Amino acid sequence: MKPDSIINPLPDSQLLLERERKWRIALPESYKQFIQKFSGAIPIRDTFTCNNHECSIDRFLCILNVTGTREDEYYDIGVVRTQLDERIITDEDLIGTELLPIAALFAGDLVCLDYRENVDEPTVCVWNHEESVELEPVTCLISENFKEFLDILKA
């Protein structure tokens, strides 16, 4: 990761716990460790393949105490999640999270933790912003877990 691209302050365990409660999910341990070191970072190796297309990460999203006073709050997961609203869920009565955006890709798509099949160990997918409509998110599987996704970026 590019060290000068990290968005401070880094989230502590308390803030992560608050977000997990709010989003009604358990973040994978590998993701918690990552975001506590690299919140909002721009990766040095930023490309991977999904569905025979090369994808490029603009920046990982961050977790902040949003106050409305910082320009970089645009990259906060909660802010991004709120903007997408019903385009990242399949059930309008859902209380909780199915797709949690964790990185912004070039051209508007997002890398997400996908809790739809397994709430204990989410997969990692690309959410397609052009094809997704209300209550019908379109995704492409990248990896079986977050650690595997990081390994893909290191390869």
Percentage of residues of the chain with pLDDT beyond 70: 99
In total, how many domains does the chain have?
A: 1
Q: Which domain holds residue 52?
A: 3-154
pTM: 0.95
CATH of the domain at 96: 3.40.1580.10
Q: Would you place residue 131 in the very low, low, confident or very high pLDDT band (cuts 50, 70, 90)?
A: very high
Distances (CA, A) of 4 to 39, 47, 49, 71: 11, 19, 26, 16
Structure confidence at residue 26 (pLDDT): 97
- Across 125-149, average pLDDT: 96
Q: Would you place residue 34 in the very low, low, confident or very high pLDDT band (cuts 50, 70, 90)?
A: very high
- The number of residues making up the chain comes to 155
Q: Would you place residue 92 in the very low, low, confident or very high pLDDT band (cuts 50, 70, 90)?
A: confident
Q: Has residue 96 got a pLDDT over 80?
A: yes
β partners of residue 133: 136
Q: Under a CB-based contact definition with an 8 Å cutoff, are residues 16 and 25 in contact?
A: no
Q: Under a CB-based contact definition with an 8 Å cutoff, are residues 62 and 109 in contact?
A: no
Percentage of residues of the chain with pLDDT beyond 90: 85
